[in-house]
Chains A and B, each alone.
Chain A
Amino acid sequence: MQIASVSKPVAAGDDRETGPRPGQAATPITQRLLTDTGDAANAALSDSAKRRLVIGKSPTPIVPPPESGLETILFADERTRIVSTDQQPWKLICALEIEAPWGSFVGTGWFAGPRTVITAGHCVFDKKQMGGWADKITLTPGRDRERRPFKSFTSERFSGINAWIQRQDPDYDIAAIHLDEDVFPASEVFRVGALPDAELQDYLINVSGYPASPGGGTELYWAKNRIRAVEPRRIYYDVDTSGGQSGGPAYIFPDENSRPLVVGIHAYGVGGTPASMNLRVNSAPRIIPEVVTQIQAWLAGPAD
């Protein structure tokens, strides 16, 4: 299967449709592919981050799974506000202020490269909600209310995946925001990885983002639990999230000495979970090998 990048056009758009077709069967992931395999030597976690973040796998959920319902917040809100946002890995997560033809929006992104921020596709392009491509996005890494430890950056250059841009396929709801300057060294940013089902299952997962409530899109929140299910294009987890956290990283730590590895891009609340799964969980488009390759291409060069 092939996917392709579609960048925000600077002139006339290119409407050719390529890549996965509607109804095309999803193939199981058997290949393990990472953007890089570097360790955490230059991105060591603080003691407080180590105390919070979940590492490795668990055969059981951290909190009991709910029996039924439809909430995005699962039972009591388990999210924790992070205030040490100038530290790893919190500093790599960005509050997004999005300006588009049909209004303004709040979302989340994260650094996968020195000048490349990954987010949900619908944070840069949404024909039905935003009226098309975003005009401009202001992103603030490590924002904590009015504190901006790494300043803010503005971009008008975005890329998405053709299956999202052309037909809003939620399994490909992934995009990049291109900056004009390096913000963090390559040795510090999130890694991105496609892992086979058997390896991904039961990992403890961390989900971070800037929700509208609490925090008004200016406070970083984090929650944890276990991956509940994996499908060829989605991962599902019992982690509290809400509006504004779209685009946030869903990440694992294989061990204490590894850099965080993003395996999904948070995008949907529990309403996005198929009824046939009979699970009350949130979900993210899964990082698959084709997406790793696409992100590597976005990291390698600026969009036109």
Chain B
Amino acid sequence: MPDERILHHGRVTDRHGAGVANALVYVAQGTAGTPEIAVKCDHAGHFRLALPPGHFQIEARSVAGTVGSTEIEVSKGDERIAITIDE
């Protein structure tokens, strides 16, 4: 079974557009298999997430425990994943 994942870039921000440091990002739902590991954002909220082609709901959880989510359709290119946490 070939590994079809490619790396996508994203950022977690708050309602003011500021990066959310150390938020954890993970796949909540998907039409293709993905490892159940969680990715930690850097100090500016940036992260990288490897996904195979498919439709996914991606969630992010801040250190304070607030969760935001987004849905993306992944094909063969690098999709920019933007997640807003309402805090």
- Chain A: residues with CB nearer than 8 A to chain B? 22, 70-73, 98, 102-107, 120, 122-123, 126, 128-129, 167-170, 173, 211-214, 216-217, 241-246, 266-269, 271-273
Contacts of A102 in B (CB 8 A): 7, 48
Chain A binding surface SS class: loop
CA distance A65 to B30 in the complex (A): 19
Known A103-B48, A272-B32; 4 more pairs at CB < 8 Å:
A72-B28, A129-B50, A246-B36, A269-B30
Closest chain B CB from A63 CB (angstroms): 19
Closest chain A CB from B33 CB (angstroms): 3
Per-residue CB proximity of B63-82 to A under 8 Å, as 1/0? 10101000000000000000
Contact sample, A vs B, 13 pairs, CB 8 Å cutoff? A22-B1, A72-B36, A103-B39, A213-B24, A213-B67, A243-B24, A243-B26, A246-B36, A266-B36, A267-B36, A268-B36, A269-B27, A269-B36
Contact of B36 among A22, A98, A243 (CB under 8 A): A243
Between B26, B30, B63, B67, the greatest number of chain A beta carbons within 10 A of the residue's beta carbon is seen for: B26
Contacts of A173 in B (CB 8 A): 35
Chain B residues 3 to 40 lying within 8 A of chain A, measured CB to CB, are 3, 5-7, 24-40
- B24 engages A212 (CB within 8 Å): yes
Interface size of B in residues (CB-CB distance below 8 Å): 33
- A271 engages B7 (CB within 8 Å): no
Closest chain B residue to A272, Cβ basis: B33
- A269 engages B24 (CB within 8 Å): no
- Chain B: residues with CB nearer than 8 A to chain A? 1, 3, 5-7, 24-40, 42, 47-50, 54, 59, 61, 63, 65, 67
Contacts of B54 in A (CB 8 A): 271
Given A103-B42, A268-B36, A271-B33; A213-B61 close (CB under 8 Å): yes
Contacts of A98 in B (CB 8 A): 37
Given A72-B29, A243-B24, A244-B24; A129-B42 close (CB under 8 Å): no
- B26 engages A244 (CB within 8 Å): yes
Closest chain A CB from B57 CB (angstroms): 9
CA distance A44 to B29 in the complex (A): 37
Given A71-B28, A242-B28; A105-B40 close (CB under 8 Å): yes
Contacts of B36 in A (CB 8 A): 72, 241-246, 266-269
Contact of B33 among A71, A170, A212 (CB under 8 A): A170
Contacts of B37 in A (CB 8 A): 98, 105-107, 120, 122-123, 126, 129, 243-244, 246
- A105 engages B39 (CB within 8 Å): yes
